[in-house]
C-alpha cells in the first residue's frame, strides 16, 4: 500500500536555528514528490516538485532533496515567517493519486 510518513509532527526552532524535516515514502513507481506549505486557515501552497533520486531544489531559505526512500526539506536560518505546516505528498504510478503525509508543524520563535 502506498504510504507517506512525515517526521517530526511538530518542530520548534529559534530564529536562525537550521533544521530538516523528513518525509519517508513507500509508493509503487514514484512519479513525483511534492512539498507544500500550509498556513492556518489557508490551502496548501506549492513549494517544490522532485522527480528522481539525487534531485535538489532551492527557494530562499528552503532546500528540498530526494533519495529512493525519503525526502528532506532543509530550512536554513529560519525566520518567524517560515512558521507553517509543511506537507509532503507523493504520486505513485500505481494509482496516479497524490498521497499526503500528515504534515510537520514548524514554529520559529524570534
Partner 1 sequence: GAGVSQTPSNKVTEKGKYVELRCDPISGHTALYWYRQSLGQGPEFLIYFQGTGAADDSGLPNDRFFAVRPEGSVSTLKIQRTERGDSAVYLCASSLGGRMGETQYFGPGTRLLVL
| Count of residues engaged in binding partner 1, rule: CB under 8 A | 25
Nearer of residues 16 and 51 to partner 1, judged by Cβ: 51
Residue 33 CB, nearest approach to partner 1 (Å): 9
- The Cα 61–Cα 99 span in angstroms is 25
Which residues between 12 and 41 bind partner 1 (CB under 8 A)?
Answer: 31-32, 34, 36, 41
Nearer of residues 48 and 75 to partner 1, judged by Cβ: 48
For residue 49, give the 3-state DSSP assignment.
strand
For residue 53, give the 3-state DSSP assignment.
coil
- The Cα 100–Cα 48 span in angstroms is 14
Which residues between 88 and 107 bind partner 1 (CB under 8 A)?
Answer: 89, 91, 93, 96-103
Give the burial class of 105: count Cβ atoms within 10 A of its Cβ; 0-12 exposed, 13-18 middle, 19 or more buried. Answer: middle
Q: By the criterion CB under 8 A, which residues form the site for partner 1?
A: 4, 31-32, 34, 36, 41-46, 49, 51, 87, 89, 91, 93, 96-103
Amino acid at each position: 500500500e502506498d504510504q507517506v510518513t512525515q517526521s517530526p509532527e511538530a518542530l520548534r526552532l529559534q530564529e536562525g536555528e537550521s533544521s530538516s524535516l523528513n518525509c519517508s515514502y513507500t509508493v509503487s513507481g514514484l512519479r513525483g514528490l511534492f512539498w507544500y506549505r500550509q498556513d492556518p486557515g489557508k490551502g496548501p501552497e506549492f513549494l517544490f516538485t522532485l522527480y528522481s533520486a539525487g534531485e535538489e531544489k532551492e527557494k530562499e531559505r528552503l532546500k528540498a532533496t530526494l533519495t529512493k526512500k525519503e525526502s528532506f526539506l532543509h530550512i536554513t536560518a529560519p525566520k518567524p515567517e517560515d512558521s507553517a505546516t509543511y506537507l509532503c505528498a507523493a504520486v505513485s504510478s500505481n494509482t496516479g493519486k497524490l498521497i499526503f503525509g500528515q504534515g510537520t508543524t514548524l514554529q520559529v520563535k524570534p
